[in-house]
Amino acid sequence: MMSNLLDNRYRVTSVLGSGGFGETYLAEDTKMPSNRRCVIKQLKPVADNPQMYELLQQRFHREAAVLETLGEENRYIPKLYANFAENGLFYLVQEWIDGLTLTETIERGGKWAEDAVRQLMISILQTLIYVHDRGIIHRDIKPDNIILRSGEPVLIDFGAVKETLNVSTIRSSTQQAHSIVIGTPGFMASEQAAGRPFFASDLYSLALTAIFALTGKYPQELGTDPQTGEVLWQSHVVNISTALKSIFTKVLQFDPRDRYSSAREMLEALQQSQIRQNAPKQVPISPAMSNMQTVAVTPRGYTPPFTPQQSISAQPPDHSVYVYQSQQNPQKKILGQIVATVIVGGAIGAAIALGVVISQNGGIVALWNKFSPFNRPVAKVPFYFLADSAYKDKESAGFRVEKLKSLGYKDAGMFWIPDYPNLGNNQFQQVYTSQFKDLDSCIVKLQEHLKYIDDAYCAYASLDAKASSQRFTGSDLPPSSSPSPSPTATPTKSPTATPSPTRPSPEQAVRDYYNLINDRQFQNAWRNLTPKFQRDRAGGYKSFTDWWGTVSQVSVNGVRIVESKENSAIIDMDITYQKGKAIFPETLRMSLVWDESSKQWQINETQRQ
């Protein structure tokens, strides 16, 4: 164990792993107040002279910048905190993902059922869509590189930086180059083992990872057909649907040209097979994946930081209510899917062949948004709805709608929030589970859905900007199972209203505080801080308002009680800040104290986790 600080900052506490490319450590950041835990990857560059080393260092920093972008914009990829070189070695400092790997989960809890494996694949495919659209191949998808954080899969250990450290990748064509292979034997497709990975190589590895979750067996235990080179998985996977078997059969073809052309195509096949297979009822989910369906809580989940600024159509976008028509004419539906697949897949292939970096501000994303079957406009009408999630783009919202349909919410849909001015002007696609004629009916369903989405709520969407949204949240429900309150009662508590004689919970106090921030009521929010915390903030109220003025939206995605006493509490929160077009997730630990004079909880201290 090294005793000195790395980069004069990071204290190594344990070794997590070791391999041919270097070592991985668990460390503490001594320059953060919380001594934040992080993962440090020590990478050994393969260079045989100083000039090559300098060039490798430049490439290393460039590829690290790519990892930084991926981690900042997607919560299912670890954040990159820093990168540096020291004593001839390169280092990446990344976010510590608290959870068990898929390997550890299966070893401890046993094999998963098909429903849980489907949810795992759907979530990973959504992350791969995000990664592949940026021209990046992961190259090492396997159970050890999927960590389940609160049930949600985080994809770790991208192989791109490792390849940049190999001098053979930057030699001139006249020099002898010895190949370097990134990946894990067994989970690698044949073309990847030969040093020529494709996007379809990641899909191949994902399928073998899913089979591991179903069977507990590694690819080496399955066997290989000596004639075709294909994995002999069929006899090991029993009691799964014919549809899932067909998907595995296609994605595990030896020739990558015979597999799905993209993660989108595989995801669509998986979702469509699930719709055909499942009856309209709640699908039971394995306990290990109980949180998998909560991948998006406003605006949590795969939320690209930019909405495409242009369309391939000259006409302005139609922001009517968008509902995925799963019962549309089969021939038209299939034709639409073929067109979308050919155009999107062909464009991706052409971009790769030409060495083009696929932009997120148009290009392939714009093509997908144009031809996606999620974009089916229907008439705008006032209605009550049960809110589930919200997203910056229609594609991700459509994926969530499809997931809700597969879970039995056959009336799930989405709409663009500004189309209903009484709800505000947040630039999000609102996903809902169903529509209702009255608030009482929605509240009945709200009590059920809160088990899966703790931020779910009922509201009224109206074309009249002056109409009340009648927002009704879980905190408005009675503590017992008594009948739901009448909608004639005030359904929501105004943050500025006189405090109720009943003391609110610390969790609700925090949500109310951020509601004040979102409503730009900075003075009232400032009063929710203790005098100590106000003094601790350099610049006082002015800096408080200046900083929050740069945040267009803050969302509380989860609240967990750490300690609760009569007049104090400590909670952990998952928060998402939106600044302009960028979205930044963060976990905070917050201490609160009860102020008897104002009859409210006040924030006394916060720390980043």
Active site residue 140: yes
Cα–Cα distance for residue pair 71/92, rounded to 1 Å: 13
> Considering all CA atoms of the chain, what is the largest pairwise distance in Å, rounded to the nearest integer?
81
Q: How far is CA 601 from CA 106, 478, 516, in A?
A: 42, 21, 14
Angle at 98 between CA 592 and CA 212, to 5 degrees: 145
| Per-residue tokens: 175 | 């020099």
Q: What is the DSSP string of 229-241?
A: --B--TTT--S--
The answer to whether 400 and 431 are in contact (CB under 8 A) is yes
Residues 442 and 428: their CA atoms lie apart, in Å, by 21
Which tokens is 215 given? 């069977």
Binding-site residue numbers for ATP are 41
Cβ 63 vs Cβ 160: under 8 Å:
yes
Output DSSP code: residue 357: P
Catalytic residue among 140, 157, 202, 393: 140
Q: Which region, left, alpha or beta, applies to residue 515 given φ > 0 means left and ψ of -120 to 50 means alpha?
A: alpha
Q: By the 8 A CB rule, do 340 and 372 touch? A: yes
> CA triplet 176, 182, 186: central angle to 5 degrees?
125
DSSP assignment string, 303-343: --S---S--SSSSPP--SEE---TTS-HHHHHHHHHHHHHH
- Bridge partners, 22 (sequence order): 19, 43
Of 58, 93, 214, 192, the C-alpha closest to 138 is 192
The C-alpha atoms of residue 254 and residue 230 are separated, in whole angstroms, by: 5
109 vs 100: CA distance, rounded Å: 11
Q: Are strands 100-101 and 89-95 parallel, antiparallel or unpaired?
A: unpaired
Other C-beta atoms closer than 10 Å to the C-beta of 159 total 21
Integer Cα distance of 529 and 545 in angstroms: 13
**C-alpha to C-alpha distances, 556 to 240, 453, 517, 572, nearest whole angstrom:** 37, 12, 12, 11
Catalytic residues: 140
